[in-house]
Amino acid sequence: MSGSLAGVRALVTGGSRGIGRAIAMALADDGARVAFGYHGSREEAEATRDELWTRDAAAAAIEADVSREDECKALVTGAIDVLGGLDVVVNNAGILHEQPLLDTEVADFDRVIGVNLRGTFLVGRESIRWMVEQGGGGRIINIASDLAYLGRARNTAYCASKAGIGAMTRTWALEFAPDILVNAVGPGPVDTDMLGADVMSDEQRAQESDIPLRRIGRPDEIAAVAAFLAGPKATFITGQTFGVNGGSVMY
């Protein structure tokens, strides 16, 4: 395939739907070969893979729970096998669990941290390990959130996990410069299953009306920035978190 990402081999976690799916599509549309992880619905994953095939992209779906170390190792190894290597990794898989602090059990906290933060750590570590062993470069793109900065009542674990992803992004950027560029995208509210317009709480709607651009975002608007960060023009950028949020946070 031609395009600015021709020859690029990319892994996207949580790629079967929502923002991850849009990122997989955007990378493929720019010419990348894409493997994506999914957890849960095989039908959803196969539909995304088939859509990628329809767009003439080489694509594979690999099941993996990113909160589990063994499954993350298998996901990264599987992506390398199917793609013939790895140049770009997008840590997108995540869960949201709204719960008052005083009702939050350790198991609830651990589950959100386990998927969002430990999952990013595990897939990032295994991918970077392979990139370092190859002696080449690479790009890591972590999906954070504007809530890392804003905070939100009843979202302790989620906000903490996303702030942790920002810190991990800066740490890896320092540790693996100049070969591997590590950045994050911090979306504001985006219309997906996680935060569909139809399931938004009154508080979320109120926050939405505070957004300077006065709407929630679309998955393709997040994907466009991820694709840019994966591409040949993003060569002097590392350790940054890009707010794609309609102005909800201004850095």
Ligand X SMILES: NC(=O)c1ccc[n+]([C@@H]2O[C@H](COP(=O)([O-])OP(=O)(O)OC[C@H]3O[C@@H](n4cnc5c(N)ncnc54)[C@H](O)[C@@H]3O)[C@@H](O)[C@H]2O)c1
Report the interface residues with ligand X, using CB under 6 A: 13-14, 16-20, 37-40, 65-67, 92-95, 115, 143, 145, 187, 189-190, 192-195
**What is the closest distance, in whole angstroms, from the C-beta atom of residue 211 to ligand X in the complex?**
12
CB of 84 closer than 8 Å to CB of 5: no
Give the span between the Cα atoms of 159 and 246, in whole angstroms.
Answer: 19
**What is the closest distance, in whole angstroms, from the C-beta atom of residue 185 to ligand X in the complex?**
8
Determine the 3-state secondary structure of 190 from DSSP: strand
**For ligand X, which is the closer residue by CB, 37 or 231?**
37
**What is the closest distance, in whole angstroms, from the C-beta atom of residue 75 to ligand X in the complex?**
9
Assign 3-class secondary structure to 69-120: HHHHHHHHHHHHHHHCCCCEEEECCCCCCCECHHHCCHHHHHHHHHHHHHHH
Token representation of residue 3: 């395009």
| 134-to-70, 85, 194, 199, 238 alpha-carbon distances in Å | 22, 9, 36, 45, 20
Burial 196-219 (b: 16+ CB within 10 A, else e): eeeebeeeeeebbeebeeeebbeb
**For ligand X, which is the closer residue by CB, 19 or 182?**
19
**What is the closest distance, in whole angstroms, from the C-beta atom of residue 25 to ligand X in the complex?**
13
What does the angle CA 222 – CA 224 – CA 227 come to, to the nearest 5 degrees?
110
**For ligand X, which is the closer residue by CB, 179 or 210?**
210
**What is the closest distance, in whole angstroms, from the C-beta atom of residue 198 to ligand X in the complex?**
13
**For ligand X, which is the closer residue by CB, 92 or 238?**
92
Q: Which of 38, 149, 158, 251 is catalytic?
A: 158
- 251 given a catalytic annotation: no
Give the span between the Cα atoms of 41 and 193, in whole angstroms.
Answer: 13
**For ligand X, which is the closer residue by CB, 43 or 133?**
43
The residues annotated with a catalytic role in the active site are 158
